[in-house]
Structure formats: C-alpha cells, structure tokens
C-alpha cells in the first residue's frame, strides 16, 4: 500500500497542494510516471494520516494482523522491510514444542543507500525551484551541523 | 472550513522547502515521528480514497486478516 502525502519538494511542475483536487491530480501523475503497481491511498489535504504516523516524507510502517505496530522506519529501505517481514512472519509461525512466541520490541539504527543522481532527477522533475531550494536547505543543514 | 483549518492546511502543504527547513519544519517532523505510536501499540485507523476507483478503504479492514505494509511518499 502506498500513501500519497504532501509534496516534499514542491516546484514549478509539481507544486504544493492547495486543494484536494490538485492533490488527486498529482497522485495520478505520480502513479503513471513512477509505475507504482500497489494500491495508492490519498491522504486528506491536511495530512491527517501523515501527521498521525509521524510526518517524515518516505516512511514505511508494517501493521500486524489485528492492528498493532510491528515495524516503523523513518526512511524506506525495501530490503530492510522485506527482511523484517520474513523474520516477523517466520518468528510468529515457527517455534519448537513446549515454547510459544512472545512479541518484544527493538529499536535499531541501520543504513540505507541513497541514489543521489536519481533523487536530483526527481527534484528536477518537480521543477528548477525544487532543486534550488534543496541546495539552500543543504547550506542550512551544514550551518546547523557547524554550530 | 474555518480560518484555523486553512492555516493548518497551508502550513502542512508548504510551498517552499528551504523556508520550511529554515523555520525548523524538518526537525519538527523528526520529533513527530519519534512521538508516533511505537512497536506494539495500536496503529491509528483511517479511511482514505483509493486512487483509480475512489473506493473508501479503511486500514483496519486491511490489517484485519493479514499484515499491512504502508509506504508514505510523493514525487521526491
């Protein structure tokens, strides 16, 4: 399932959403260009679901059967999600006689690998302003890191 | 829609990323993620329209019978 949120880097070609109709149109454009095969749900204009799950631009969450959070990641790594799902489903199903599965919680930091060239192409798709504003944001992040 | 709703919608759908970062929006988002439900807690339920056919889909209907994987995103 893919949840379409606000545009993280609005530009001249794909701008910020000022109506739900515009948000729907952007979601349709994205589905076509990115070839997203999964179902896409479109959040409301105020981002009610996005807010409830934490506002990061490219999170992945896994909700277990019954509705409890099984996995949350502030950035998406498909390989990590796949590995987690394999462990989680196998862990629930597989246990030796005389034992029973008991859920516990973990918190881990992991690495993901960003494709800088591809990301910049996506920014450019949104428009030159999206590229320029990201470059300005990078300067701001560098200033923050220096203080 | 009231003025407060309009302000909330405008703040969420910021038009300029650099200004959003300069105002601390990105760090506030990181804080929001850390404050969101943790593993083992009940996930917030929403009903949203599905792109294509417009059907109203409830998350709880999906996770009732099997785990649900949800990726959030936009063009970038």
Please state the ipTM of this predicted complex: 0.97
pLDDT tens-digit map of A94-120 = 778 899 888 899 999 999 999 999 999
In a domain, A93, yes or no: yes
Who contacts B3 (Cβ-Cβ below 8 Å, separation ≥6)?
Answer: none
B48 interaction partners in chain A (CB closer than 8 Å): 3, 41-44, 49
Domain that holds residue A38: 2-114
Tell me what pLDDT residue A95 has: 78
CA A45 to chain centre: 17
In a domain, A71, yes or no: yes
- pLDDT grade, residue A93 (50/70/90)? confident
Query: Domains in chain B: how many in total?
Result: 1
B9 interaction partners in chain A (CB closer than 8 Å): 45-46
Please name the residues between 64 and 103 in chain A that touch chain B, using a CB distance below 8 Å. Answer: 64-72, 74, 76, 81, 85, 88-89, 103
**pLDDT exceeds cutoff 80 at B13:** yes
In a domain, B70, yes or no: no
Domain that holds residue B52: 3-63
A45 to B13: CB separation less than 8 angstroms, yes or no: yes
In a domain, A140, yes or no: no
Nearest-CA distance A16 → chain B (Å): 5
Tell me what pLDDT residue A101 has: 87
Report helix, strand or coil for A103. coil
């Amino acid at each position: 399932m893919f949840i379409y949120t606000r545009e993280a880097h609005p530009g001249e070609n794909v701008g910020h959403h000022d109506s739900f109709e515009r948000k729907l149109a952007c979601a349709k454009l994205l589905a076509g260009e990115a070839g997203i095969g999964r179902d896409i749900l479109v959040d409301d204009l105020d981002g009610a679901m996005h807010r409830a799950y934490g506002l990061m631009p490219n999170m992945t969450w896994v909700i277990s059967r019954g509705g409890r959070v099984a996995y949350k990641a502030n950035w998406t790594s498909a390989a990590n999600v796949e590995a987690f799902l394999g462990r989680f489903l196998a862990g629930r199903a597989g246990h030796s006689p005389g034992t029973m599965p008991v859920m516990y919680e973990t918190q881990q930091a992991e690495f993901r690998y960003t494709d800088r060239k591809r990301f910049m192409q996506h920014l450019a798709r949104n428009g030159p302003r999206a590229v320029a504003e990201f470059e300005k944001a990078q300067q701001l992040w560098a200033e923050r890191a220096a203080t | 829609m009231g003025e407060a709703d309009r302000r909330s919608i405008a703040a969420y759908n910021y038009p300029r990323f650099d200004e959003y970062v300069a105002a601390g929006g990105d760090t506030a988002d990181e804080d929001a993620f850390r404050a969101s439900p943790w593993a083992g807690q009940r996930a917030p339920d929403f009903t949203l329209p599905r792109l294509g056919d417009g059907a109203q889909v409830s998350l709880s209907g999906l996770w009732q019978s099997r785990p649900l994987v949800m990726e959030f995103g936009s063009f970038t």
